[in-house]
Structure 1
Amino acid sequence: MTHSPLLRSDQTLFRDPDVFEFTYLPDHLHHRDAQVRELAFLLRPALRGGSVLSAVLRGPPGTGKTTTVRRIFREVAEETQQVIPVYVNCRHNHTPLAVYGSIFKQVCGYPAPLAGRYLDDVKEGIASRLQDRNAALVVCLDDADELIPAGTYNLLLYQLLRLYEKWDVRKAGVFAVTSNLGLNLGAEADASVRSVFHPTEITFLPYSRTEIREILTDRVRQGLYPRVLPAPLIDRIAQIAAGEQDVRVGIDLIRQATLRAEKDGRRRVTHADVTAAARAVTAPALRARATRLSEAERALACWIAERSRDGADMASGAVFEAAQEYLPVGKTTYHEHLNALTKAGIVDLVPGAGRGREVRLRYNAGDVAAACKAPDKTCKIPNWA
């Protein structure tokens, strides 16, 4: 009798499924040593009785900003009582009361009393705890750009950085985190805030494919049983995540592909599992990229996708010439829109035959067409002039 390759109903492929949650803090932060050193330098004055310095952490999504801050905050909390680190998710907390309520709970260890509905009461509770411990406060405002449309960015920065003026506490530090590369959080501060907010800018560049592979290999080692995910499939997942410039895509892809294999009762993840999971994981990212394009850019992306799906010549010049059949468009405008699709991460322009370049989709052609189609489900090229 041969051994069955199928899992029993009580078996699993996951050694630790939490490893593939976005909130998981890994044992080792790969390729972020420079950023950790900069943050540690900003925290160091507080260990000598001073105040924490402020910073702006900027980088695309999935480049380790949040994980790096939460990891160093955990180490600080474990090693010293002189600094109280607080993490606030501004997507969920963007009003002053919500932000201070989150700070109060983390500083004091329990929620703000229901009676403490007035901000000054909550602030006084925070200040009292800081005085009792003679500790410095550092607040990470993750997705701080969410505070700008809420109209609370300058107000919160001003109040947090000037807590020391009303209560006898050390000056707080603020780590403002953003994934919006087109936004300068320092410039968004008004004059009254800039007088006390002098942040060091810390940049988080996208991980390379090799770096992503190392990160994913470590997660697989911790989170899956041996031989569940073959090395060639980790390579393929790393390539997909590198194309998205987001390591979280790779982490989620591993989780989804493994769940698919486990659901089928198989002991190994297959190429088909990765392919199916990739479309489910990358589709939301593609839709998000498409929504940031203009109508004309979406129409061009849709038309390129349909041309690619038909197996037509994808040389940039040939694509331009073929577009003339639908609408006369100037070469300058065409290249402007093509460059916009490149910056959005929907197409790549790769060297082709001779001196030309080939237009190559980063995503499945059908998925691009679906994400970029007009509401009537057709690919229309509007007036680009």
Structure 2
Amino acid sequence: MKDLLAWDQTLFKDSELFELDHVPEHFLHRDAQLQSLMYGVRPALCGARPLNCLCIGSPGTGKTTAVVKVFEEIEKHTPKVVPVLVNCQVNSTKYAVFSQIFKKLIGYAPPVSGVSFKKVFNEVAKYLVEHEKVLVVALDDMNFLFYENEVNDVLYSLLRAHETHTGARMGVIAILSDTGVPHILDPKVETVFLPEEVRFPQYTKGEVRDILSSRAKLGFYPGVLDDSALDRTAEHTFALGDLRVGIDLLKRSGLNAERRASRTISLEDVESAYEKSRLVHLSYMMRSLKEDEKILLGMISEMQQANSGELYEKFHLQTSLGYTRFYELLNKLGALKLIDTDFTGKGSRGRSRVVTLRYQADEVKARL
């Protein structure tokens, strides 16, 4: 009986470490990216305008965490620089973005209606000038500003503030998920943005294992997770290329073991947890899809397995979009690891593709 967990015992030394929004104290394998971000922010510490930065990489590669770590350092060291992290998925309009900045600077949010954008903007710029503060705005998930066609207005307002308000200093850190579809800015915005590019490559299999091992050591009691269970968790995480899957997988595997009153996590615990954890990736990816991408994914989930030619005909019939756009969307859904596309060797010049869903059709439909 001593091998069984008592009803009031737990495997978790600190369950907070397995929450998806937890910012780890030791942020592994991203030193170069942190250095680049600090380099960009450094001018602000001397009262000058910071360099703009563009953090780009696949989802789940540590972009947001890196920016949060840099912002924590700034707030520890100087009150002269005000860092603001804006979640563009939630705040996807110019007014919403500036409301978040206003709230951070002035301490309360402006009214949701009845106040013009210009007034909110003027208050923000005036505050910075009067208090001699430098603003660094991180636009997290900036993809959503592209989807809403707000991105040029937001960046233009931030980056040209000094022209209307002498002494207003603002810099932007754009956090953009690389989804295989190019995002193009207006040339007049491009010329004032000119960001330092900070690339976040996919973690290697060894790095994934390293990060999950560190999280498990701090989050579980000793001996809970052995090497075979850790390796299996790392394999699943690496296959989807999204670290969030692995962190959720550790948590669910631990809960599965507790349910069995076991003091250790077995491979079965990991496998049964993976059925749920892999949907973390699906949910995150699907939140970022635009309307025509959802239509195409819906068609693929109806057909289960489709030839790209017949899929295009159905898609064109419903959306009247051309083949080039269809091809881009197919590539994007592939890059997001939502579908697989394999060349069959049939068709013109052997380029016909078979498109298959990487998830259960009902899982996709439920999220559409």
Task: For 1:342 and 1:77, locate their aligned partners in 2 and report how far apart those are by CA, in whole Å.
Answer: 39
Question: What displacement does 1:172 show?
Answer: 1.2
Task: For 1:55 and 1:183, locate their aligned partners in 2 and report how far apart those are by CA, in whole Å.
Answer: 20
**1:7 alignment counterpart:** 6
**1:68 alignment counterpart:** 66
CA separation of 1:339/1:191 partners in 2, compared to 1, >3 Å: closer, same or farther? closer
Task: Select the residue among 174, 177, 188 that pairs with 1:176.
Answer: 174
Question: What displacement does 1:263 show?
Answer: 3.1
Question: 1:330-380 CA deviation, whole Å, 9 max, x = no partner?
Answer: xxxxxxxx999976646699xxxxxxxxxxxxxxx9x957339999xxxxx
**2:256 alignment counterpart:** 260
User: Once the two structures are aligned, what percentage of the paired residues are identical?
Assistant: 36
**1:335 alignment counterpart:** none
Question: 1:218-246 CA deviation, whole Å, 9 max, x = no partner?
Answer: 11122122122222211110111011111
CA separation of 1:45/1:301 partners in 2, compared to 1, >3 Å: closer, same or farther? same
Letter matched to residue 189 of structure 1:
L
CA separation of 1:45/1:107 partners in 2, compared to 1, >3 Å: closer, same or farther? same
Task: For 1:270 and 1:68, locate their aligned partners in 2 and report how far apart those are by CA, in whole Å.
Answer: 32
Looking at CA atoms only, which structure, 1 or 2, has the larger radius of gyration? 1
Task: Select the residue among 140, 162, 165 that pairs with 2:163.
Answer: 165
**1:120 alignment counterpart:** 118
CA separation of 1:89/1:339 partners in 2, compared to 1, >3 Å: closer, same or farther? closer
**1:92 alignment counterpart:** 90
2:244·2:280 contact (CA, 8 Å) conserved in 1?
no
**1:81 alignment counterpart:** 79
TM-score (normalised: structure 1): 0.74
Question: What displacement does 1:192 show?
Answer: 2.3
2:58·2:179 contact (CA, 8 Å) conserved in 1?
yes
Task: For 1:373 and 1:100, locate their aligned partners in 2 and report how far apart those are by CA, in whole Å.
Answer: 36
CA separation of 1:343/1:96 partners in 2, compared to 1, >3 Å: closer, same or farther? closer
CA separation of 1:344/1:152 partners in 2, compared to 1, >3 Å: closer, same or farther? closer
2:44·2:134 contact (CA, 8 Å) conserved in 1?
yes
Task: Select the residue among 216, 221, 225 that pairs with 1:225.
Answer: 221
Task: Select the residue among 206, 210, 214 that pairs with 1:210.
Answer: 206
CA separation of 1:369/1:239 partners in 2, compared to 1, >3 Å: closer, same or farther? closer
Task: For 1:339 and 1:143, locate their aligned partners in 2 and report how far apart those are by CA, in whole Å.
Answer: 20
Return 123-132 or 111-120, whichever deviates more. Answer: 111-120
Letter matched to residue 242 of structure 2:
D
**1:277 alignment counterpart:** 273
Task: For 1:264 and 1:24, locate their aligned partners in 2 and report how far apart those are by CA, in whole Å.
Answer: 27
1:216·1:250 contact (CA, 8 Å) conserved in 2?
yes
CA separation of 1:184/1:339 partners in 2, compared to 1, >3 Å: closer, same or farther? closer
Alignment of 1:1-385 (within 5 A): 3=2, 5-8=4-7, 10-112=8-110, 117-185=115-183, 188-283=184-279, 285=281, 301=305, 345=337, 368=358, 370-371=360-361
Letter matched to residue 92 of structure 1:
V
Task: For 1:166 and 1:339, locate their aligned partners in 2 and report how far apart those are by CA, in whole Å.
Answer: 42
1:45·1:52 contact (CA, 8 Å) conserved in 2?
yes
Task: For 2:92 and 2:360, locate their aligned partners in 1 and report how far apart those are by CA, in whole Å.
Answer: 34
Question: 1:244-292 CA deviation, whole Å, 9 max, x = no partner?
Answer: 1111111010011112222333322221110011111114646868976
Question: What displacement does 1:57 show?
Answer: 1.2
2:179·2:335 contact (CA, 8 Å) conserved in 1?
no
Letter matched to residue 141 of structure 2:
D
Task: For 1:49 and 1:374, locate their aligned partners in 2 and report how far apart those are by CA, in whole Å.
Answer: 49
CA separation of 1:369/1:121 partners in 2, compared to 1, >3 Å: closer, same or farther? closer
CA separation of 1:296/1:143 partners in 2, compared to 1, >3 Å: closer, same or farther? closer
1:7·1:267 contact (CA, 8 Å) conserved in 2?
no
Question: What displacement does 1:113 show?
Answer: 5.7
2:52·2:193 contact (CA, 8 Å) conserved in 1?
yes
CA separation of 1:372/1:5 partners in 2, compared to 1, >3 Å: closer, same or farther? closer
Question: 1:181-201 CA deviation, whole Å, 9 max, x = no partner?
Answer: 33444xx22132123111122
TM-score (normalised: structure 2): 0.77
Question: 1:50-75 CA deviation, whole Å, 9 max, x = no partner?
Answer: 11111211111110011111111111
Question: What displacement does 1:210 show?
Answer: 0.5
Report the secondary structure of 2:137's partner residue: strand
Task: For 1:23 and 1:107, locate their aligned partners in 2 and report how far apart those are by CA, in whole Å.
Answer: 24
Please list every run of at least 4 consecutive aligned residues from structure 1 whose deviation after the TM superposition is greater than 4 angstroms.
113-116, 286-303, 338-349, 372-375
